[in-house]
Amino acid sequence: MIISESLKQKIPENLKPTLRILLKCFRPLKRNPVKEFKIKRLQEKLLREKYSLNTKRLIIFLTPGYDTVSGGILSISSIYEESIKFKSIHKAEVIMCTIPGNPLLLRYTKFNNQNYIYRFSQVLSYFQNLQNLMIHIPEYCINQFLKNVDYLRLNQIKNLQFNIMLQNIELLDKKENIEKLKTIGKVTCTTAHEQYSTIEMREKLGFPLHKLSVYGSPEQYKKERYVAKENLMIISPDSHPQKYEVLNLISKRFPQLKILIIKNLTYDEYKNVISRAKWALTFGEGLDGYFVETIFSGGVSFAVYNSTFFTKDFKSLRTVYDSYDLLIKKISLDIKDLDNEITYTNYQKKQYELCCKYYDYKNYINNLELFYRGKYTYK
């Protein structure tokens, strides 16, 4: 997919990171027939070994067919793993499939997991006795899914439910594609952020919405105290028109501060880096992994307030700015003021406690259980 320069100039700056994500998902890859053949053979072997042909109830998680690590992929993988544990409630087998139209992929290798991934068409062909099928589908790929599925096969299944995993509201597919999905089966939606887990969003969608949250919670991270931190600031890889200006300002004002833009790391490597980093600055959606995970690792995070993702209480944080112009004006002074053990520790605690308010593993698991019991936040 190629985007012309003239069209790029018309895209709002806050949506350009979203565009990059979508382009990444649709980027062309060189096909390797030998590798694809091996993957298909392994998938077929594993499918026969792990799942019964007589399965009547099935839950499918659609996931990107790219061997990378991202917040979305980690989230889907976590929900998949936790869903398996609720078999006594939903009575179904649970399986992961690449999004129809994506490349073949057997499993992710950039983070610890034992999750095998299959082809969607392969799975529907294998399970010929399905009576109940739930498909968890990422919010951005509804149209792609609709263009690459066998409608005749889906129509043979008595009870069909699509659950839209709304992890980033800026990526939500077009309304007409969502409406088409509703003509095929029952549709529900689970959300990742508090800010759009509302009755207003439920009414806008026109089907049940359930607040799920995300897997991230403080006990999953190595929290280091100020004295153990390195003079290091991690930077999200997102682009922004003022990014160079901001980073140039910081590097000139603090020449001894190491600035590291996160890229090409496994998840374990990334978690190790943020445990050592004193600071984090995100140019993405604001309330993202770079922001929250660094705080859970004992660091202090900087961001510009984004009303789409942040709840209003985050405005109370001195390092969450109203605009990039204000960030440029204040960030140097804030870094200097916070860079001592007492001030740093007190402020870090404030950030930490606020994030803990919205990121709690027990609540996440409880919310997932409620979903499978059909007790949605907004029916």
| pLDDT over 50 (residue 1) | no
pLDDT-derived band at 12 (thresholds 50, 70, 90) equals low
Q: For 177-226, what is each residue's pLDDT tens digit?
A: 999 999 999 999 999 999 999 999 999 999 999 999 988 889 999 999 99
Numbered ranges of CATH 3.40.50.2000 in the chain: 218-358
Q: For 57-79, what is each residue's pLDDT tens digit?
A: 999 999 999 999 999 999 999 99
How far apart (Å, rounded) are the C-alpha atoms in residues 220 and 217?
6
Greatest Cα pair distance, the chain, in angstroms, is: 66
- CATH class of this structure's domain 35-215+360-372: alpha beta
pLDDT for 31 equals 67
CA of residue 262 relative to chain centroid, distance: 16
pLDDT for 11 equals 52
Q: For 100-140, what is each residue's pLDDT tens digit?
A: 999 999 999 999 999 999 999 999 999 999 999 999 999 99
Specify the CATH number of the domain 218-358. 3.40.50.2000
What pTM does this model have? 0.88
